[in-house]
Each structure stands twice: as C-alpha cells, then as structure tokens.
Amino acid sequence: MALADPASCAKGSEDSSPFPDIIELNVGGQVYITRHPTLVSVPGSLLWEMFTQKNARSLARDSKGRFFVDRDGFLFRYILDYMRDQQLVLPEHFPERGRLQREAEYFMLPELVKLLVPKLSEQNSLGDDPCQSDPEELAGFITIGYRGSYTLGRDSQTDAKFRRVARIMVCGKTSLAKEVFGDTLNESRDPDRPPERYTSRYYLKFTFLEQAFDKLADAGFHMVACNSTGTCAFAHEQ
C-alpha cells in the first residue's frame, strides 16, 4: 500500500483554497494589494463575508481579473488600515469623516462606525446633566457671513431673489473651521494660525450658501440664530 507524500498533501490543500494569500482589489478605480487574512480579520464584516462565505467565481472582477468593489477608492485606504489592526488613525483636520462613516456602515464595521461618530454628537451625549460642562466647551460655534445682492419682484417686495453671493465668510476656531470645510476653506488671508485660535478672516472657495450649511449639518452643527441685511436693486422704477 502506497502512502501519500505529506508535502504533496499540504500543497494540494493550499491549491484547493478558493482565494490566494495575496489579493488584488479594485475599489472604485483604485488598486489595493493585501493579504487574505487582512480582509477576513473582522468576522461578520462585508469583506469577511465576501472572502469566506462566497465563491471566488461569483465575485465581480475588472478586466485584469482583480476583485472589484464599487465604492469610494480614496476612502477605502482607511477601511483597509482599520482591517489590519482594528485601530483608526486619520490625518489632522480630516474633512471626510462623515463620508468615511458611511463607508464603514457599508462594509459592516460597527466598531469603526462608533469611532467615526461626529465629535460634537459624542460630546453632547456625555450625560443628562445640563450643568456638567459649558455648552461652548462641548461644541463650539461657527458663524457664517456673506455679501450678496438681490432684486425685488415687480408686484411685491416679499418676492426677493438673490442675484449673487460674492463671498461666504467664516468666523470661528481654526481647528473647527478646517474640520468642517477642509480644502474648500481659503486660508490665504490668515496663514499659519494656531488651531485653537479664533479668526474671522477665512472665507470659502465656493459661493453657494446651501453648500456651506450642508457641510455644517454633516459635521453635526445646528443653527441657533440668524440675521440678514442686503443691498437691494429694484426691478422697477419705484
């Protein structure tokens, strides 16, 4: 009776594995190369399900045979970093925290989602005691100002339409402004300002008020007051 060579048995077992040890991923057009154990390091996650519970042939691939995932290729680098050691390390003043949280939810990484909860929400949920800390220390404030002009309708002065917002100005703590507005914040008027200092010299590179308030809402801010004045140009001679 012939006995099988142990080495050949081990080799055959490795060859029968549906996934190689080194895996190439195409995530939204960005190519990543990592090890199979990294992708399955968080049981229950989407990547764990893809690379343990599914057949390799059933997964989408690009034209070069790489496994394809239709998600944000730039933000996936942070997902992959977390999969390696279950720790979150982000650049200073990282402006994509909300979007990265959405990616973490898609990849079914609940612990990472908890780490990405907006800082303001975490601080506001510290306790039920309203006297626990000063609200200004918990959240911080950002004031938005703008310069613009508008026209009045022919029949009613209440029918006012904005023609143009020339500039949207930002006043607040430097670190908060950078975290909320990121690269859309123009720093040319106030360079090298310490992150804990306040400034009113920033302005935004875009001129849509809705875009400014969308970014504030995404970061967990709530409007507490507003006021407006304007330079009016009538649409008729009166």
Specify which residues 204 forms β-bridges with: 185
Residue stretches of the chain with pLDDT short of 50: 1-2, 4, 6-15, 120-138, 234-238
Q: What per-residue confidence (pLDDT) applies to 175?
A: 80
Nearby residues of 172 by Cβ (< 8 Å), 6 or more positions away = 140, 141, 142, 143, 198, 199
Q: What per-residue confidence (pLDDT) applies to 109?
A: 96
- Of the candidate CATH numbers 3.40.50.150, 3.40.640.10, 3.40.50.10710, 3.30.710.10, the domain formed by 22-116 belongs to 3.30.710.10
Q: What per-residue confidence (pLDDT) applies to 145?
A: 82
Nearest partner of 88 among 64, 112, 106, 108, judged by Cα:
112
Q: What per-residue confidence (pLDDT) applies to 134?
A: 38
Q: What per-residue confidence (pLDDT) applies to 114?
A: 92
Q: What per-residue confidence (pLDDT) applies to 133?
A: 36
Specify which residues 67 forms β-bridges with: 25, 61
Q: What per-residue confidence (pLDDT) applies to 124?
A: 45
CA distances from 206 to 14, 20, 164, 184 (A): 55, 47, 12, 7
DSSP readout, 75-114?
A: THHHHHHHHHHS-----TT-TTHHHHHHHHHHTT-HHHHH
Q: What is the pTM of this model?
A: 0.47
Nearby residues of 127 by Cβ (< 8 Å), 6 or more positions away = none
> What are the domain boundaries of the chain?
22-116, 142-150+163-219
- Give the three-class secondary structure for 5: coil
